[in-house]
Amino acid sequence: MPPVRNSNFNSLPPHSRRRFLQVAAAATSGVMLSNCARALLNNASGGTTVQSDGRAGSGNQTLRIYTWANYTDDELLSNFKDRTGIQVIADTYDSNETMLAKVQAGGGKDYSIIYPSDYMVDQMSGQGLLSLLDRSKLDGINQLMDKWQNPAYDKNNAHSIPAVWGTTGLIFNPDVIQAEVKGWDYIWDNTEDLTRQITMISDVREVLGATLQYLGYSINSTDPAQIKEAYEKLLEIKPAIASFVTNGWEDQLAGGDLMISMAYSQDAISLIAEKPELQYIVPESGSSLWTDTMVIPKTAPNSEAAYAWLNFMLEPENAARLVERLKISTPNAAAFDKLPPKLQQNENLFPSKAVLAKCEGIVPVKEEISNLYDQFWTRLTSS
């Protein structure tokens, strides 16, 4: 199904993929690796189903998982069944909040594996919804990249295994722009030539956060003066902004109706696969960094199959093949070593250490600061 379009500047789409639950986030402490919003395309109902052999299964030979679109394919599910004899039924959702609401309402009791984003792991574990992982049943967790060995959103990976990660950046056609674009400078320096030619993600913390970084501040600033400065800086380029939309910009950008879009790396990589003339960059001033994980809910009906899935996904060979087929970024260092050089050197998938050093995870802030962000966001998007 094609992405939902939103060309009305004052009409914002629903919560983006990693949108904060602001009140709950205000109560969360600690530094997370990330909490950015990146909406993956899914069907309007929020749930497609993929089965490894096309038949409904039951009992110990069936594993139901709840995941994002584009994180599994028929080959993965078939290979898992060939190895374990367990049939996989994969349902997909389009936002962490959709998934959480279903789990809280009891609709998640059929799933033994769920794929929450980093900040949602923190929230779900705080609500007692996740099982503590039994490390004696896991093989290969020590092969994770250093950044994911002890993530702040889930100390020592107590409840989760990282599955996919990425950045937020800018995508454009260099043949159309015909100028070097290193980051946000290009937009501020060329606002008059970009009238209604750019789109920005529909997420307050992503947009204000990127501007804070551009100004030399932290993406997680809690200084009211800095937040106001970022808002006023955004007002300078408002004539260039066609809309705030997380998905729906793809065809317009590919067709030349837009010059630049702020996007999540996963979405940019997917579009570049179809339109290789496009280019994705992480702004030189920095970016946000996000992670999606695998967890076993406390209500899991088949924890034995769940551990089989985690171990299968941790196997370097399996993780590497998934990167090759789906072009997703793995946090598995041993899997990375098995990738062909072309993929290892693809900085859209695996940014350099210098780029990652400038990236920050978006973390919760106190309620009064969260409200301040929202106030400036409302002014920005409605005026």
Show the 3-state SS of the chain: CCCCCCCCCCCCCCCCCCCCCHHHHHCCCCCCCCCCCCCCCCCCCCCCEEECCCCCCCHHHEEEEEEECCCCCHHHHHHHHHHHCCEEEEEEECCHHHHHHHHHCCCCCCCCEECCEHHHHHHHHHCCCECCCCHHHCCCHHHECHHHCCCCCCHHHCCEEEEEEEEEEEEECHHHHCCCCCCCHHHHHCHHHHCCCEEECCCHHHHHHHHHHHCCCCCCCCCHHHHHHHHHHHHHCHHHEEEECCCCCHHHHHCCCCCEEEEEHHHHHHHHHHCCCCEEECCCCCEEEEEEEEECECCCCCHHHHHHHHHHHHCHHHHHHHHHHHCCECCEHHHHHCCCHHHHCCCCCCCCHHHHCCEECCCCCCHHHHHHHHHHHHHHHHC
pLDDT of 121 strictly over 70: yes
Return the pLDDT at 2: 29
pLDDT of 12 strictly over 60: no
Same domain for 134 and 274, yes or no, is: no
The dihedrals phi and psi of 335, each to the nearest 5 degrees, come to -65, -40
Same domain for 249 and 189, yes or no, is: yes
- Percent of the chain residues past pLDDT 90, beyond the cut: 69
Return the pLDDT at 85: 96
Same domain for 44 and 156, yes or no, is: yes
Q: Which domain holds residue 93?
A: 30-166+289-353
Q: Please check if 164 is assigned to a binding site.
A: no
Q: Please check if 365 is assigned to a binding site.
A: no
pLDDT of 27 strictly over 70: no
Return the pLDDT at 39: 38
Same domain for 204 and 180, yes or no, is: yes
- Asked, for residue 224, whether it belongs to a domain, the answer is yes
Task: State pLDDT tens for residues 289-339.
Answer: 999 999 999 999 999 999 999 999 999 999 999 999 998 999 999 999 999
- Asked, for residue 24, whether it belongs to a domain, the answer is no
Domain count, the chain: 2
Same domain for 263 and 296, yes or no, is: no
- Asked, for residue 39, whether it belongs to a domain, the answer is yes
Same domain for 172 and 312, yes or no, is: no
Least-confidence region, from 2-11, 101-110, 136-145, 245-254: 2-11
pLDDT of 107 strictly over 50: yes
- Asked, for residue 99, whether it belongs to a domain, the answer is yes
Same domain for 104 and 155, yes or no, is: yes
Return the pLDDT at 191: 96
Please give the average per-residue pLDDT across 146-170, as a whole number: 94
Cα 280 off chain centre by: 16
Q: Please check if 231 is assigned to a binding site.
A: no
Please give the average per-residue pLDDT across 190-211, as a whole number: 93
The dihedrals phi and psi of 260, each to the nearest 5 degrees, come to -145, 145
The dihedrals phi and psi of 129, each to the nearest 5 degrees, come to -95, -10
pLDDT of 49 strictly over 70: no
Cβ-in-10-Å burial (0-12, 13-18, 19+) of 297 comes to buried
**Tokens 């065809």 belong to residue:** 251
Q: Yes or no: say if 335 and 323 are a contact pair by the CB < 8 Å rule.
A: yes
Per the prediction, the chain carries an average pLDDT of 85
Return the pLDDT at 60: 67
pLDDT tier, 152 (very low <50, low <70, confident <90, very high otherwise)? confident
Least-confidence region, from 54-58, 145-149, 195-199, 315-319: 54-58
Return the pLDDT at 98: 86
Return the pLDDT at 272: 94
pLDDT tier, 45 (very low <50, low <70, confident <90, very high otherwise)? very low
- Asked, for residue 17, whether it belongs to a domain, the answer is no
Same domain for 101 and 124, yes or no, is: yes
pTM of the model: 0.75
pLDDT of 212 strictly over 60: yes
Count the neighbouring beta carbons within 10 Å of the beta carbon of residue 150. Answer: 12
pLDDT of 51 strictly over 90: no
Count the neighbouring beta carbons within 10 Å of the beta carbon of residue 4. Answer: 15
- Asked, for residue 247, whether it belongs to a domain, the answer is yes
Same domain for 116 and 196, yes or no, is: no
Same domain for 50 and 150, yes or no, is: yes
- CA dist., res. 333 & res. 146, Å (int): 8
Q: Please check if 119 is assigned to a binding site.
A: yes
Token pair for residue 280? 């994705």
Please give the average per-residue pLDDT across 170-180, as a whole number: 94
pLDDT tier, 200 (very low <50, low <70, confident <90, very high otherwise)? very high
Contacts 24+ apart (CB under 8 A), 97-100: 97/15, 97/19, 97/21, 98/46, 99/66, 100/21, 100/124
pLDDT of 6 strictly over 90: no
pLDDT tier, 234 (very low <50, low <70, confident <90, very high otherwise)? very high
pLDDT tier, 44 (very low <50, low <70, confident <90, very high otherwise)? very low
Same domain for 284 and 145, yes or no, is: no
pLDDT of 240 strictly over 60: yes
Same domain for 267 and 220, yes or no, is: yes
pLDDT tier, 280 (very low <50, low <70, confident <90, very high otherwise)? very high
Domain CATH for 327: 3.40.190.10
- Asked, for residue 9, whether it belongs to a domain, the answer is no
- Asked, for residue 188, whether it belongs to a domain, the answer is yes
pLDDT of 40 strictly over 70: no
Return the pLDDT at 177: 93
53 vs 60 pLDDT, higher one: 60
Q: Please check if 181 is assigned to a binding site.
A: no
